[in-house]
Amino acid sequence: MQNPYLLLTPGPLSTTNSVRQAMMRDWCTWDNEYNQIVQEIRNRLVKLATVQKELYTAVLMQGSGSFCVESTIGTVMPRDGGKLLVIANGAYGDRIVQMCEVLNIPHIVHAVDECESIHINDVEHFLKEDKEISHVIAVHCETTTGMLNPIEEICYIAKKYNKITIVDGMSSFGGIPMDLDELQIDFLISSANKCIQGVPGFGFVIAKKAELAKCKENARSLSLDLYDQYETMEKHQGKWRFTSPTHVVRAFYKALQELEAEGGINARFKRYSENQKCLVRGMKELGFTALLDEKYQSPIITSFLYPENTKFTFQQLYNSLKKHGFVIYPGKVSEVDTFRIGNIGEVYIEDIERLLDSIRQTI
Ligand SMILES: *Cc1c(COP(=O)(O)O)cnc(C)c1O
C-alpha cells in the first residue's frame, strides 16, 4: 500500500513496503519457529554492535524506547549504594532524570545547555568530586536538537574512574557506526522504530554480559526487569516473559535483513549523512539557518530556526508540506523557535530534493 506521506520524523519513521508487509498476517508466539527468530535477532544485534560478540548479549523489551531506558536504569542500578551521573543536554536527558526521581534512584545531574556540547573536563570534575557515583549515563544523539554527544570521550573518562557506562543510543544505533567494546559501553539502549527502520513496539538493550550478570533482583519493576527478561530469553532460547509484539518482531527481523542488504551500518550512515547535508545546503539557499554548529550536528535530524522578518508560521509550513506528502516535526528547544526535519528511515536524496522543492513553493 502506498503511504500518503513520507515521515521525516525520527521514529516512527518511513519504513519499506516489505517491512510493513511482514505484519500482514497473524503470527503465533510461544513456538519454536518464533523463538528462533528472536534468537536470530538478538545475535544480529550483537553483531551490529561489536566485533567482541562473545562479551555482549542483546535483550529485547516490550514498549517504546523510554520503557527500555527505564528498564535499564531500574535494573542496572543497585538497590543499595550506587549513584547515577546523568549527563543531560536535552529532553531525553531530562527524561532520564525524571525516571530517577520516580524510581528513587540516587543520582546527580550534569545539566548542559541544549545547544552546547558536553565538555569532558566538566564530566571529570563530577567524577572526581563525587565518589559515590557508580554509573554514568549519556544520550548519544540528542534528538531534541540533533546534537551528537561525544560518547567516546564520556565513556573513556567514566572508565578511567571505573564507572559502569550506559548510553541512550536510541536514535543513533544502526545509523552511526560504533563498536561498544571499543567505546567501553556496558549498556546501550535503542528501539525498533529508529535507525534499524522497523515499526514501534519494542526496544532492545545490548549489554556487557559480565555487567548484566550482576543485576539479578535489582529491578524496581516486575514487567521492566531487564535481568529477568534476559534470563528467560537465555534459558528458554528466545522466549519473552509476557506477550511479545509478534508482528513488530517479524517486521524488525525483515528490517534487519534489509539493513544488511543495504550494505550494513556504514552504508546507512552514508545515506543518512548525504540526506542531511543535502537538506542543510538546500534549506540554506531558501534562507533557513540550522540551529547547531555543523561540528555538533548528527546525520539523524536537523533543527532549523524560524526565519526572521517574515510571516512564517510552523503550522502553515506543516500543513502545506503534509499536502505535498511530507510530515515534519515541531521544535523541542526551549529558548528559541525551531522546527525539525529528520532524514532517517526509507528516505533518499531524491526525497530531500522533492521536499526542498515543496518548501520553495510554500514559503
Ligand atoms: C526516540 C528516543 C527515545 C525514546 O522515546 P520513545 O518516545 O519512548 O520511543 C529516547 N531517547 C532518544 C534520544 C530518542 O531519540
Identify whether 255 is part of a domain.
yes
Q: Mutual orientation of helices 91-103 and 65-76 as an angle, nearest 10°?
A: 50
Identify whether 275 is part of a domain.
yes
Q: How many CB atoms lie within 10 A of CB 16?
A: 15
Identify whether 81 is part of a domain.
yes
Q: Is the CB of 92 under 6 A from ligand 1?
A: yes
Residues 311 and 243 in one domain: no
Q: What is the pLDDT of residue 1?
A: 62
- Shortest-distance Cα residue to atom 2 of ligand 1: 170
Q: Is the CB of 61 under 6 A from ligand 1?
A: no
Give the position of cell 543499595: 80
Strand partners, 20: none
Ligand 1 geometric centre to CA of 129 (Å): 30
Residues in CB range of 228: below 8 A, 6 or more apart: 219, 222, 241
Residues 242 and 325 in one domain: no
Strands 164-168 and 301-305: unpaired
Q: Which residue among 260, 287, 308 closes a domain?
A: 260
**Any idea what DSSP says for residue 195?**
T
Q: How many structural domains is the chain composed of?
A: 2
Residues 267 and 225 in one domain: no
Residues 117 and 237 in one domain: yes
Tell me the residue length of the chain. 363
pLDDT along the chain (363 residues), means of 10: 86 94 89 95 98 98 98 97 97 98 98 96 98 98 96 98 98 98 98 98 98 98 98 97 96 98 98 98 96 96 90 92 95 89 96 97 88
Three-state SS at 166: strand
Q: What is the pLDDT of residue 332?
A: 84
Ligand 1 geometric centre to CA of 64 (Å): 8
In whole angstroms, how far apart are CA 162 and each of 134, 157, 180, 210, 212? 8, 9, 16, 14, 16
Ligand 1 geometric centre to CA of 203 (Å): 10
Residues 172 and 245 in one domain: yes
Identify whether 104 is part of a domain.
yes
Alpha-carbon distance 45 to 62, whole Å? 16
Residues 159 and 295 in one domain: no
Ligand 1 atom at minimum distance from 140 CA: 13
Ligand 1 atom at minimum distance from 194 CA: 1
What residue type is 65 in one-letter code?
G
**Mutation pick for ligand 1 pocket among 70, 139, 171, 196 (CB with most ligand atoms within 8 Å):** 171
Ligand 1 geometric centre to CA of 92 (Å): 7
Identify whether 1 is part of a domain.
no
Q: Which residue among 227, 260, 293 closes a domain?
A: 260
Phi-psi region of 34 (alpha: psi -120 to 50; beta: other; left: phi over 0): alpha
Identify whether 336 is part of a domain.
yes
Q: Which residue among 235, 260, 285 closes a domain?
A: 260
Residues 252 and 325 in one domain: no
Q: Which domain, by its residues, includes 312?
A: 6-10+263-362
Ligand 1 atom at minimum distance from 11 CA: 1
pTM, 2 dp? 0.97
Residues 241 and 349 in one domain: no
Specify the CATH number for the domain of residue 305: 3.90.1150.10
Q: What is the pLDDT of residue 11?
A: 79
Residues 335 and 239 in one domain: no
Residues 256 and 304 in one domain: no
Ligand 1 geometric centre to CA of 190 (Å): 8
Q: Is the CB of 246 under 6 A from ligand 1?
A: no
- Shortest-distance Cα residue to atom 4 of ligand 1: 65
Specify the CATH number for the domain of residue 212: 3.40.640.10
Residues 184 and 50 in one domain: yes
Strands 202-208 and 187-191: antiparallel
Q: Is the CB of 64 under 6 A from ligand 1?
A: yes
Identify whether 246 is part of a domain.
yes
Residues 218 and 343 in one domain: no
**Any idea what DSSP says for residue 341?**
E
